[in-house]
Structure 1
């Protein structure tokens, strides 16, 4: 706050519907997952976010957090797509934090674990989004090195007015 420098940002995808206006992923992501569209949408969003980040990093040393659906990790080439695109636009791994849900930590054996480790090896930070809303257990945090944990807003939104929230 003192310097006014922005160090981190999060890419947030919204659907601009012609009649309903901006629609959050909470509404359209489950439908996209059900219809097999979440991976192409995720790739498009990732590429757009990286292109914007390249422009921002010309002026600021910024890290961008980008959400990835668990279904994107079920594809064998998921990490290659991310890493190849970042290399093609000249972004170092440290410029990105990939946000995952805690449910993905249940699947860290095999392909999912290999992809998460490949991202970490490339210098990409992993961030656990909406922690404490699903399968939260501290034991899951031992499976994969997580750089950041984002506690769900339900637990912190009333910090100033709710003593129980302040305890957390």
Structure 2
């Protein structure tokens, strides 16, 4: 059961990365289209009414905030603590940390992981669920910001 949950968590992390990447690409296309159309016309935000400018700059802030949130979604995540001797290996960063302590430490860590597979599995479940929760928190924030930007920016142009 725990192995299946760990597999599910890893797949969920990959799905969050995919969603974040697709939304970053969509933002790039939306920004390119908007900038292209407005640049050809020689338009500037100062041409808008006061209310239109407020909407425009609020939309721009939402857009940039959304981009940063989506980038935080896809940024690689590591464990919340550094591996130390006596702990099982559950993540690539653990292997790297054990190897930095020398080949004997890595060998001992492998033995410890084999000796206590349930502890390693529980640690991996804990860390992976934390990673997935963080990714989806950033993804939700990015989607909310992008949605707000897609309402505010064209709305500002319509309000004038």
- What TM-score does the superposition give when structure 1 sets the normalisation length? 0.25
- What TM-score does the superposition give when structure 2 sets the normalisation length? 0.26
**More strand by percentage:** 1
**More helix by percentage:** 2
Q: Which has more radius of gyration?
A: 2
- Of the two structures, which has the highest relative contact order with CA contacts closer than 8 Å and spacing of 6 or more? 2
